[in-house]
Amino acid sequence: MSPSFELDPQPAIRVTMMPADTNAHGTIFGGKILSLIDQAGAIAAHRIGVGRVVTVAMRECVFKHPVRVGDIVSCYADVLKVGKTSITVCVRVVAHRPTDVKRSVEVTKAEAIYVHIDEAGRPIPIAEGEEV
Ligand SMILES: CC(C)(COP(=O)(O)OP(=O)(O)OC[C@H]1O[C@@H](n2cnc3c(N)ncnc32)[C@H](O)[C@@H]1OP(=O)(O)O)[C@@H](O)C(=O)NCCC(=O)NCCS
């Protein structure tokens, strides 16, 4: 099948970071951002019309800047590749600092790979026509 490689200008997820999301140093816990990446990637995978997916892999995720309480975090997710049973999504995470409207930083970028599965959890082919 030939997936759409058009970039989505809208974030798959946008959320304000709260005190409950912090690590021991008071900045945002990396696992929180990984969770958002996973969710955003899955949303992008569903946009091609595939119903049930699980995450099989997440490729290198380097945190370049801290995320702070009150930051508005946007996850931009674009499908890079559709394989036989898998969908590869690039997720870019941007933190908008509300105290400075001109300041947005790219916190990290990662590739997440999802597999289309049946009810028993076995990989199944992504059928022609599942693309939106
Ligand atoms: C995902 C899962 C169903 C895949 O089962 P599997 O028998 O290993 O599947 P396969 O080896 O046939 O691979 C399926 C697809 O995933 C891709 N894949 C598998 N491992 C991969 C990896 N490490 N990196 C990238 N892609 C991978 C394969 O290339 C294949 O893609 P394609 O069909 O488009 O060519 C199985 O590993 C699983 O259930 N994992 C747990 C998923 C989960 O619970 N995730 C939540 C986190 S706990």
Could you read off the pLDDT of 1-28 as tens digits, one per residue?
444 445 568 999 999 999 999 999 999 9
Q: Over the stretch 72-94, which tens digit does the pLDDT of each residue have? A: 999 999 999 999 999 999 999 99
Q: Which of 35, 56, 81, 122 to mutate to test the pocket of ligand 1 (most atoms within 8 A of CB)?
A: 56
Which numeric CATH code is attached to 13-116?
3.10.129.10
Distance CA 101, CA 66 (A): 17
Extended strands (E) in the chain: 13-16, 53-58, 72-82, 86-96, 104-116
pLDDT of 5: 43
Q: What tokens appear for 107 in the block?
A: 């916190």
Q: Answer yes or no: is the C-beta of 57 below 6 A from any ligand 1 atom.
A: yes
Q: Which atom of ligand 1 is nearest to the CA of 59?
A: 24
Give, in degrees to the nearest 5, the angle at Cα 99 between 7 and 37. Answer: 35
Q: Which of 5-9, 10-14, 114-118, 120-124 has the lowest mean pLDDT?
A: 5-9
Q: Answer yes or no: is the C-beta of 22 below 6 A from any ligand 1 atom.
A: no
Q: Over the stretch 24-38, which tens digit does the pLDDT of each residue have? A: 999 999 999 999 999
Q: Which atom of ligand 1 is nearest to the CA of 125?
A: 33
Cβ of 89: how many Cβ atoms within 10 Å? 27
- Looking at every residue in the chain, the average pLDDT score rounds to 90
Q: Answer yes or no: is the C-beta of 70 below 6 A from any ligand 1 atom.
A: no
Q: Model-level pTM greater than 0.95?
A: no
Q: Which atom of ligand 1 is nearest to the CA of 87?
A: 34
The pLDDT > 90 percentage for the chain reads 79
The pLDDT > 70 percentage for the chain reads 89
Tell me the CA–centroid distance for residue 105 and ligand 1, in Å: 32
CA distances to 56, 66, 97, 131 from 74, in Å: 23, 14, 11, 25
pLDDT of 87: 97
Distance CA 45, CA 71 (A): 26
Tell me the CA–centroid distance for residue 17 and ligand 1, in Å: 31
Q: Can you give the length of the chain in residues?
A: 132
pLDDT of 128: 61
